[in-house]
Amino acid sequence: MPFDNRLMVPPNETFNGLSYGNWAAIWWNWLFSNQQQGGSVYFLRGNTDLESVIIRKGRNALTFDAQTAIFFPIICTINSILTNYGTGDAIVNRKTCANSQRDPLILKVIIDGTKVTKLKRYYAESPEFIMNVPATSPIRKYFKPIVKSGQAQAVAAGYWILIKRLPVGKHVIYFEGKHQDGFKTSGEYEIMITN
């Protein structure tokens, strides 16, 4: 059955009281945590600088219930004093993030064989937020250069998708993005939705 685009949260609307930018801030802190999932929104991700493409199919497929929303970046970035290009200045961080996301070379999302269109509408910037990177974070070593551990103000920007829910049954989500600087990321997920 083709994916119904009406199941996606419009980019100018909130979900559970939070904007796309608010969800982006939460997603980044989840990424640098131990990546345990919980709550009403399930996070997906593509590969970072030094990782292979993320594929979760077959035995590695995901299963969760029909009341769970799904949030993921097609492509995104974050700036902070903990990252390579960040500073302690929120205005500079925001401008750098926005510039890195300008005119992506690839923006692609396919859900259950249906290509999602008008993806540039899904650009969002986070408010300034506290980025928390534990020294034990398993993902920080896959960034080039390695993200520093600690806490610092941060700003994120990118193209994000928020699906309110998927119908019961098997689904496939594929997404791919590429920056002007050549960085490319993608993810492919098989998801079984239960009652």
Question: Looking at this protein, which amino acid is placed at residue 104?
Answer: P
Query: Residue 113 — pLDDT band, cuts 50, 70, 90?
Result: very high
Q: Check residue 39 and give left, alpha or beta (phi > 0: left; psi -120 to 50: alpha).
A: left
DSSP string, 6-71: GGBPPTTS-BTTB-HHHHHHHHHHHHHTT----SSEEE-----TTSPPEEE-GGG-EEEETT-EEE
- Residue-range definition of the domain harbouring residue 53: 5-194
Render pLDDT for 37-95 as a digit per residue (tens, 0 to 9).
Answer: 878 999 999 999 999 999 999 999 999 999 999 999 999 999 999 997 777 788 998 99
The arithmetic mean of pLDDT across residues 14-38, rounded, is 94
DSSP code string of 85-128:
S--S-HHHHHHHHHHHTSS-SEEEEEETTEEP--GGGGEEEPPP
pLDDT of residue 117: 95
Query: pTM surpassing 0.85?
Result: yes
List the one residue out of 53, 42, 11, 22 whose CA is nearest residue 142.
Answer: 53
User: What is the number of structural domains in the chain?
Assistant: 1
**Beta pairing, strands 123-125 & 150-163:** antiparallel
* Angle CA 83–158–52, to nearest 5: 70
- What are the structure tokens assigned to 15, written together? 């979900």
The 10s digit of each residue's pLDDT in 154-184 is 999 999 999 999 999 999 999 999 999 999 9
- State the burial class of residue 161 (Cβ atoms within 10 Å of its Cβ: 0-12, 13-18, 19+): buried
Q: How many CB atoms lie within 10 A of CB 119?
A: 21
